[in-house]
Amino acid sequence: AQKVTQAQTEISVVEKEDVTLDCVYETRDTTYYLFWYKQPPSGELVFLIRRNSFDEQNEISGRYSWNFQKSTSSFNFTITASQVVDSAVYFCALSEAPRVASGTYKYIFGTGTRLKVLA
């Protein structure tokens, strides 16, 4: 069965510190996708990144970077030089390929990590 674990319930950092949010996943599929979403206090989930299981290259987007390691089933997210606006709940999600050709991908979300960036 597929599972996503975000062991860090809440993290507090001071502005300009770097912070890493952990995500560990379980799946028996060889084809799957991993995602990160941000949920600010306003409540609307915002897509950050998608990664497929065949692409282990790390990705950097501004202050955000992602480290995908299949050997440890992890897809960690690092924010460099954190800012107050980064305060939000961050969710990691996994989707596996459909079991039948007509099926669609089923998403499983982790429980989220609340990040508080203090000024």
Partner 1 sequence: EAGVAQSPRYKIIEKRQSVAFWCNPISGHATLYWYQQILGQGPKLLIQFQNNGVVDDSQLPKDRFSAERLKGVDSTLKIQPAKLEDSAVYLCASSWRRGAVSYEQYFGPGTRLTVT
Which residues contact partner 1 (rule: CB under 8 A)?
31-33, 35, 37, 42-47, 50, 52, 91, 95, 97-98, 102-107, 109-112
Question: Measured between alpha carbons, how far is 19 from 13 in angstroms, rounded to an integer?
Answer: 7
- Output the six-digit token pair for 51: 């990664």
Closest separation in Å from C-beta 98 to partner 1: 8
Closest separation in Å from C-beta 16 to partner 1: 28
DSSP state of 119: -
Beta strands 113-118; 10-14: pairing state: parallel
Q: Which is nearer to partner 1, 42 or 71 (CB)?
A: 42
Contact of 23 with 112, CB cutoff 8 Å? no
Closest separation in Å from C-beta 73 to partner 1: 17
